[in-house]
């Protein structure tokens, strides 16, 4: 940055200027100072333009970084929500599966109890029929024995 060099030159000129005796005033080369000030006026607009370009570029980089960070943050939030949603779906599916298994077990137990009850009733009826048939057979044998002559 040329302007800094020019200002440093002016500062050095002031520091190294001869002092007037018995005063705090210094002798400076007016033409040298005017030449340096003209050069500063010429360089200053270019230096300002360069600084503005640098600031604009910095602002653009910051904006790009802000957009990128927003995108990353939004994507991270989306992924987190998806994982939470997937986890909730999994939990919900597990809960539904557990309920179905529980209902199936209850229905299976009910069917088994019903089948056992039916079997008991059927076997009880069969026992009754067989007992009556056995009594009829025994009675038939007894009657035959009574009718049969004894020799």
- pLDDT digits over 75-96, tens only? 988 888 887 777 787 888 888 8
Provide the token pair at 114: 């019903």
pTM over 0.75: no
Examine residue 66 and state whether it is found in any structural domain, yes or no: yes
Quickly state the pLDDT bin for 113 (edges 50, 70, 90). Answer: very high
140 occurs within a structural domain? no
With 0-12 / 13-18 / 19 or more C-beta atoms within 10 angstroms meaning exposed / middle / buried, residue 13 is: middle
Structural domain count, the chain: 1
Query: Which value, to the nearest 10 degrees, does the dihedral of the CA atoms of residues 57, 61, 66, 69 take?
Result: 180
Residue 120 within any structural domain of the chain? no
Range of the domain at 39: 2-114
Q: Is residue 81 part of a domain?
A: yes
Looking at residue 1, its pLDDT comes to 67
Q: In sequence order, which residues have a C-beta less than 8 Å from that of residue 43 and are 6 or more positions away?
A: 2, 3, 6
- pLDDT score for 110: 92
pLDDT recorded at residue 109: 92
Q: Is residue 89 part of a domain?
A: yes
| pLDDT value for 85 | 78
Residue 72 lies in a domain: yes
Computed over every residue of the chain, the mean pLDDT equals: 86
Q: Determine, yes or no, domain membership for 92.
A: yes
For residue 36, which of 62, 66, 60, 2 has the smallest C-alpha distance? 2
pLDDT value, residue 39: 87
Residue 36 lies in a domain: yes
What is the signed CA dihedral for 71, 76, 78, 83, rounded to 10 degrees?
170
């Amino acid at each position: 940055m040329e302007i800094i060099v020019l200002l440093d030159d002016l500062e050095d000129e002031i520091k190294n200027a001869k002092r007037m005796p018995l005063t705090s005033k210094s002798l400076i080369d007016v033409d040298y100072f005017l030449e340096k000030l003209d050069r500063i006026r010429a360089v200053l607009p270019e230096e300002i333009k360069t600084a503005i370009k640098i600031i604009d570029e910095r602002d653009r980089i910051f904006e790009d970084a802000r957009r990128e960070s927003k995108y990353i943050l939004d994507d991270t939030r989306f992924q987190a929500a998806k994982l939470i949603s997937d986890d909730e779906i999994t939990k919900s599916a597990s809960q539904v599966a557990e309920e179905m298994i529980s209902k199936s077990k209850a229905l299976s137990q009910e069917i088994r109890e019903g089948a056992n009850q039916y079997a008991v009733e059927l076997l009880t009826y069969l026992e009754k029929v067989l007992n009556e048939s056995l009594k009829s057979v025994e009675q038939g044998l007894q009657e035959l024995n009574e009718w049969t002559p004894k020799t």
